[in-house]
Amino acid sequence: MADRRSVLIPLLILTWFFFGPDPTRQSAARLQQRPSIEHVLAEEERSLGALRNSSYGDLNSPWGNVLNLTGLEDDRGYAWEGLQKVQERAKGRLQYALGDAGLKVLEGTTGGDALPALYYNVTGHVHGHWVRSKVQDSVHVPRLNLSAYAPMSPFGPLALDTFGRNITGTDGDVRVRFHEWTPYDADTSTGVANVTGISAEMTLQDSQSSEEFDLELYGVYNMQIGQAIMTTTSSKMAGIFMLPHFTLSEHTFESTRKMLNESIAQTIRSQKTDSSFSLNPWSSNVEDNTRAAFEAPQCEVILYLQQLPPSGSRTVAISSAVLAFLEREMRFPTGAFLPSAPELRFSMLAFSPDCGYVLESKGEPDFAAQDGQHLPGPKIEVLQGRGRHHLLVFAVAIGGQFTLLMRQMREANTSSTRSRISFYSISLLALGDGFAGITFLFVGLAVRGLWINLIATAFLAFLSVMFFGMRFLLDIWTAQAPERAIRAREEAEEERQRQERFRATLERLRAEQLQREAASAETPDSPVTAVAQPAADIDTLAPPPAHIDTASADSAPPSLPLPVTAQRPTDTGAAAVFMPSDQEGLVAAQTGTGNQIAADVDTSTTSFGSIYIRFYLVLFATLFMTLNAISWPTGLRRAYFTILALISLSFWVPQISRNVQRNCRKALTLEFVIGQSLLRLVPFIYFYAYKGNVLFADRQPYILIALAAWLWIQVVLLASQEFIGPRWFIRNDWAPPAYDYHPILREDEEGATMPLGLSEPTSNSAPTSPLLERRASLSSPMTRRGSIAKEAKGKGKRVYNCAICFQDLEVPVIEAGGSSDTTVAGILARRSYMVTACRHIFHSPCLEGWMKYRLQCPICRETLPPL
């Protein structure tokens, strides 16, 4: 009967999917902590009215705060006095990037020098390093009453130690991904033709604490001067409504306010009409805009980004017309020939009014060019084009692996060859392809521009796994089934013997106890004394005397000897059974030991269906663990991915171990081993050594060198096992004994390792194989002589005729009293011949080719040990 236990885990998973809790359903306690929809809309309309009625300079008014917006109250204690210094620093960055012409455009004056060429559409990815700004010393860190910000839970306010996204280190990494925020397009009559909405996902990494913080910001982008101002918005700071007051001039204040008046009003109208309502359309939470009610508050961030000319200096390396043509062709391609598009470059200045930190990007003029280039990165169109080219390289690598796998499957077309291959080595290769396929599939669902390329590459990876990799695993599993059955029977037999020894010991102890009790029960005046039976006379294999107890022993006559009262032997089933002449329907009695062992082996044998399920469970568990590891701290994440890479590149270790255990060679072709090793190293070279990888991963050449060295060691060991021997690098007692097909031939060991016909060259005394000795019909001299030695060509040489190819075979023989040749030449010379267990000698290629199909001696048909 089939084992149905493997169906339990998929049923549990499906039950969880169908009957598990709805993640979109809010609990009652959580909903009670949220404000009502009417309250949210009323607060947004009030803040929008305050923005419409505000004017430039109200934030720093000498009469105090005149803006009625959340976050500007005097009792909050935010570090708003540092905003003016941050704005001056941002204006200095603008002057460094665009010169005096940029300051004139900032103030709204016309004339003067022309501006450098800048991108109008800045959707893309930039990354770099941040350090503490020089303005930090003049900005005090607010001392807030954290209990006033503690979120409420069903059991009261939660304890709050600090805000989230609180940067305490001195440097780190930063990544910014720009997106178009709003579809709103202002016409030239409103005076905001050069201002558009923008959003960004920013990741800040603290080098000291190894923490990463993700946040989403919304703001405006001034296309004329290449300046973006963005902010976070939450219940403790109405950032998007006070954004115009963060601008650097009155001219940009007016254009930004007009743009935001229309954009925010349109967002509020969509909140009232759309069925899917969002309490905070400008939430800074990247993963979920509907943040939990009792989640810890986050530090607010005001972000200034200034675009630098593509050349990185004030000199114009490319004209504005050419850059505009490049930008238009990348966004709406017509097939025109284009030069390489320059990268985006931004300088960053980040200010947190409630946490009191000021960060800026690392680059000129405060740092040397080799120390930092601010935040460079490709545009989204360039990144997608680069991703298509890289996916093509990955597809070619997967296609090469697929081709090598098919060639290896054709090479291993017999059970003898498949029995040498390690099942776990091929499983690791298949797991790598399956992991790559699922990764491409998930990324394809998230990245729209590369969906077709990613799905096609994922399909090729799944094709290699599901149709060929799993088929090859099934063939290997089937070919190694007898080996597993033998091993299972041996384990069952060892377990049975262990239980028998345990029962025998228990019975001996019981018999000794009964003897002591019987001896103590005899009276001292009795003339007859019981003779104690020695423990050695007790049959240790007899069943325990369950029917004899203490009472029966006490009631026995004291003068009767102990052997008379011992239990009688029971029928073990080995006695002859009388069967009548009509024997139809009767079955002879059988001993239960062998049947019980076979039943134990059958019930413990794992089917390939369960292996199939385990394969995909391990695959999905690794995928989910990897997705979870992305959010870990930098040190743990780097250690996890390094360990995962080390495991994924250890696919030859099981094959090396199997070669040692079975003492076999040439399980896999060198073409397959070297080709798979090189092709599977391509992704690691891409992420660890290539600077322009799509994940912007830092180059780690030392880890790559260690991984490549580890893989190279495995390949060298596999190759050395083929040419030198499977067990040359371990001690003989570290592995189970196995037959050596390449023994050292000596003349002084009474022909123990000499082939038939070499140690005794005369035809009359030539020994025969054990099987031929048992065959009386094969008694002719030619058939009894399994091999014939010819005359030696030189000292220490013998010539033999190979029975497969009928060609001469010259072999080295150690003469009597001589020492064995342990040099590399001697080892390689022994690889040219093979001596079977029945002492017949052949060419190594001849016998290896024969053993691919049959594990029998070509001469005497004796069973041969696996190669």
Identify the pLDDT of residue 756: 62
3-7, 357-361, 368-372, 784-788: lowest mean pLDDT where?
784-788
Give pLDDT tens digits for 91-137: 999 999 998 888 888 888 876 678 888 999 999 999 999 999 999 98
Beta pairing partners, 841: 835
Q: Supply the pLDDT for residue 473.
A: 92
Asked whether 318 and 117 are in contact (CB, 8 A), the reply is: yes
**Mean pLDDT score, 410-439:** 90
> Are the C-beta atoms of 443 and 457 separated by less than 8 Å?
no
* pLDDT tens per residue across span 596-612: 545 444 544 467 778 88
So what's the pLDDT on residue 157? 67
**Does 569 or 77 have the greater pLDDT score?**
77
Report the SS3 class of residue 490.
helix
Q: What is the pLDDT of residue 752?
A: 56
Q: Which residue has the higher pLDDT, 522 or 844?
A: 844
User: Is 56 a residue whose pLDDT tops 50?
Assistant: yes
pLDDT in tens, 785-826: 445 555 555 567 888 888 888 888 888 888 766 666 666 666
Question: Would 786 be classed as within a structural domain?
Answer: yes
DSSP 8-state symbol, 190: G
Confidence of residue 240 (pLDDT cuts 50, 70, 90): very high
What average pLDDT does the segment 631-637 reach? 84
Alpha-carbon distances of 764 from 439, 501, 590, 840, rounded to whole Å: 72, 51, 48, 17
Q: 606: which residues sit within 8 A by CB, 6+ positions away?
A: none
pLDDT of residue 726: 86
| One domain for residues 353 and 413 | no
705 and 786 housed in the same domain: no
Would 559 be classed as within a structural domain? no
Which of 102, 101, 253, 243 shows the shortest CA–CA distance to 192? 253
Q: Which of 134-148, 512-526, 729-743 has the highest mean pLDDT?
A: 134-148
Residue 677 has a pLDDT of: 96
759 and 656 both lie in a single domain: no
CA–CA gap between residue 380 and residue 694 (Å, rounded):
11
Does residue 138 sit within a domain?
yes
The letter for the amino acid at 467 is F
The residue type found at 791 is E
pLDDT bin (cut points 50, 70, 90) of residue 248 is very high
Task: Please write the tens of the pLDDT for every residue from 776-786.
Answer: 444 444 443 44
Asked if the structure places residue 372 within a domain, the reply is yes
Query: What pLDDT was estimated at residue 574?
Result: 44
Report the distance separating Cα 176 and Cα 303, nearest Å.
11
Query: Domain check: are 802 and 791 in the same one?
Result: yes
Least confident of 62-76, 640-654, 741-755: 741-755
If asked whether residues 454 and 499 sit together in one domain, one would say: no
Residue 52: inside a domain: yes
3-class secondary-structure state, position 406:
helix
Residue 274 in any domain: the answer is yes
Displacement of CA 633 from its chain's centroid (Å): 17
Token pair listed for 634: 């930098």
- Looking at the fold, whether 803 and 686 belong to one and the same domain comes out as no
Q: Do residues 362 and 428 share a domain?
A: no
487 and 470 within one domain: no
Supply angle C-alpha 308, 309, 310, rounded to 5. Answer: 115
With vertex at residue 753, the alpha carbon angle to CA 749 and CA 755, rounded to the nearest 5 degrees, is 120
Structural domain total, the chain: 4
Residue 564 has pLDDT above 50, yes or no: no
Are 214 and 328 contained in the same domain?
Answer: yes
Q: Check whether residue 161 and residue 52 sit in a common domain.
A: yes
Q: What integer is the mean pLDDT of 66-71? A: 83
In a domain? residue 820: yes
Q: What is the pLDDT at residue 820?
A: 63
Which of 347, 378, 409 delimits the end of a domain?
378
Instruction: Return the higher-pLDDT residue of 94 and 594.
Output: 94
Percent of the chain with pLDDT over 70: 73
Position 1 in a domain: no
pLDDT score of 675 more than 60:
yes
* Tens of pLDDT, residues 436-484: 999 999 888 888 778 899 999 999 999 999 889 999 999 999 888 888 8
- Asked whether the beta carbons of 338 and 308 are under 8 A apart, the reply is no
- pLDDT interval class at 544 (50, 70, 90): very low
Residues 93 and 240 in one domain: yes
Which of 710, 726, 757 is the last residue in one of the domains?
Answer: 710
Average pLDDT of the segment spanning 624-643: 89
DSSP H/E element including 215: strand 211-222
Nearest residue to 610 via CA among 483, 486, 487, 474? 474
Q: What is the DSSP string of 571-634?
A: P-S-S-----S--TT------HHHHHHHHHHHHHPPPHHHHHHHHHHHHHHHHHHHHHHTTS-H
Q: Are residues 235 and 371 in the same domain?
A: yes
Domain interval for residue 803: 739-851
Point out the domain boundary residue: 378, 413, 437: 378
- Residue-wise pLDDT for 492-508, tens only, equals 898 999 999 999 999 99
- pTM for the model stands at 0.72
Q: pLDDT per residue over 789-798, tens digit each?
A: 555 555 678 8
